[in-house]
Structure 1
């Protein structure tokens, strides 16, 4: 019998944003220094933002 893994949720959508190139490069560089990814940090920001504003 296979062990089933729980997934938080399937990542099946994209959000395309336009930002300043220098800010993007600095953000990605900082994420690398902190051993994380830009996508992970943006997803965390979105989850925190939703929680914060749903509690108002």
Structure 2
């Protein structure tokens, strides 16, 4: 069974140090993932963690 993904129709612009960005992108490539995928995963986990605390 495949998850239904919501359409990605928005962008989030962040400012980050050039060196940190390069290290992040390089590590993502080594781990066979993308920087965008990992940022989206972080956002989803962050929302789950903090929204569940609000309802508790």
- Is TM (by shorter chain) over 0.5? yes
Structure exhibiting the larger radius of gyration computed from Cα positions: 1
Partner of 2:18: 21
Unaligned runs of 5+ in 1: none
SS at match of 1:55: helix
Q: Is residue 52 of structure 1 aligned with residue 49 of structure 2? A: yes
How many residues matched?
52
Greater helix content: 2
Shift of 1:55: 1.1
Q: TM-score, normalised by structure 2?
A: 0.87
1:6 CA displacement: 6.5
Aligned-residue CA RMSD (Å): 1.4
